[in-house]
Each structure stands twice: as C-alpha cells, then as structure tokens.
Amino acid sequence: MSEGVDATAETGDQGATPGGRAMPSSLYVVATPLGNAADLTFRALAILRSADLVAAEDTRVTAPFLKRYGIAATLVSLHAHNEAQRSRTVIEALTAGRSVALVSDAGTPAISDPGARLVRDVHAAGYAVVPIPGPSAVAAAVSAAGLAAERFAFLGFLPTQAKARRILLETVAPLPFALVVYEAPHRVRATVAALAEALGGARPLVVARELTKVFETVARMPLSDAGAWFDGDPNRVRGEFVLVVDAPDAPVTGEEVLPPEADRWLRALLAELPPARAARAAAAATGLARDALYARALALRPPQAED
C-alpha cells in the first residue's frame, strides 16, 4: 500500500501531533516494543500518557514499562482468562467518557494475544476503536525473510494436538503462500518437524528468534536442515520464535499426469498414513513427483477419514 505524508501531522507547540492525545470514549489498540524500548512510537507514547485507563495483558510487565517513560496510568489486567469480564469494565469506562489504551506484553495486541474480543465488544457497543500501529513480530519476521512468495498466511500458534495440527498444515500446504507461525521454545523442535513432514523438506524456512532483543537471530535454511541447525547450538532453542516457511516452488508448465499405479499406491498408503506421509512414501517407491502425489492424495482421501 502506498502511503503519503500528512502535512497536517507536523508537531505543533505542544509537541504532539493531531490525534496524538487520547479522546473520550475511545479505545486505542497500542503496539509496544517487542524488546528494544527505542521502538516505541511518539504517537503510542502520547496516547499512553493521556489515556485514562490502560488495559494490559500482564500488569507486572506493563507497570515497569510505563514507569520507564514516567507514565503513572491506572492499570487493569486483561488476559485470556478474564477478557469477557474486563470487556464489560472497559465498556463501562467508555460509557462514562473515559479513554482506554489496550496493550499486550509486547508487539501489537489482538494478534495471537488477548484483545480481539474486547475490540469486537467495543465495536458492538458503538464506541471508536483506534489502532496505534507499531512493532509487530509478524511484520518484522516477514520483512527480514526475503520471501519469494508475494503473499503470506499467518497461522499464529499451531494447535497443540497432533491431529489438529496435521489437518491444518495439510490444508494450507498446497497454497502458493508463505506461512508464518509463532512458537514457544519448548515446542519449536516439534513444530519444525511437523512443518517439514507436512510441507516437504525443500521449502525454505526462516527462523526469526528474539526479534529486536540482545540475542536476535534471523536464519534461513531448507526445512529439512532445521533440526541440525537447532542441534548446532543449545541457545538456538531459547526465546520467542517466528517461523516463516516460503511458498512451494511454482509448478512446471503443464500439470503432471500420474500413471494409474500412482492411485493404487496412494489408496493403499492412505489406509494407514496421512496424505503428506503417503505422498512421500509413494514418491520414494515410484520416483514420481511428491507434490503431484500429494495433491492426488488429498483428492483421494475420504472426506471424513479418521486417523
């Protein structure tokens, strides 16, 4: 999206741009730094200083952050376990003409973080919701990934249950998009293994670790090499992760026509294996292209198959 510069947004005598002060009966969704405190925007700082109430994912994290900037805001917690209750509290504050800033522990709220329900409820109640853009782990990782794909799909945290995770990955595997995943350190190895199994080891992976922090790492490799990369240094499994898998290579011109025996192989294998593994086994046995076999396996798989 091309953007122009608003000449009216120049700083005035009070040192704040128009719209830089929290207005009554408005909810501000405020992005805060991922790690480097210098990434806080001037506008975010102005809103946090002027808001009547700050709704924070964890007040123990936000309180020292605000103190760093001399902000003595009234804090309330808003997290995954109390969001419904706190939404009522926030709407009551908006009804009373107060302004509210929503923040998460780091980055942009309501993106794999609490806040989406609150935003939805505030919209429904008829009050203004104002985004204060800034740091985002998704945007930071994608910008540093060097993707061939022109589009990406953000999957957030993958399901913890193996079957649900596999079904999701098998659904998105054929898409001509890069895939972006958040992950925690204790699950990152299992997740990259699941990605390799479902998507194929040849697809490029970018591991973005501890973005904007002291030990920031951005590394690019084939998915099949990820296990060895993590093994190379125990520190590589520490911190917070964004995993970016580039889109599959564009197919060669003309769709590959599979011989009849491909269906026989796949039907037999699908009786015991999910489509990704069945395609890999059939490719090893027949020498046919795995991507074509995988697409055919998805078509052959019974709609309500249980693994």
Query: What CATH architecture does domain 138-245 belong to?
Result: 2-Layer Sandwich (3.30)
Q: What is the pTM of this model?
A: 0.77
Report pLDDT for 130: 97
Domain residue ranges of the chain, discontinuous segments joined by +: 20-135, 138-245, 260-300
Task: Assess whether the region 20-135 and the region 138-245 belong to the same CATH fold.
Answer: no
Three-state secondary structure call for residue 131: strand
Q: At what angle do helices 116-125 and 83-95 cross, to 10 degrees?
A: 40
pLDDT in tens, 218-230: 999 999 999 999 9
- pLDDT tens per residue, range 100-132: 999 999 999 999 999 999 999 999 999 999 999
Q: CA-based angle 79:41:13, to the nearest 5?
A: 125
From the options 3.30.450.20, 3.30.450.40, 2.60.40.10, 3.40.1010.10, give the CATH code of 20-135: 3.40.1010.10
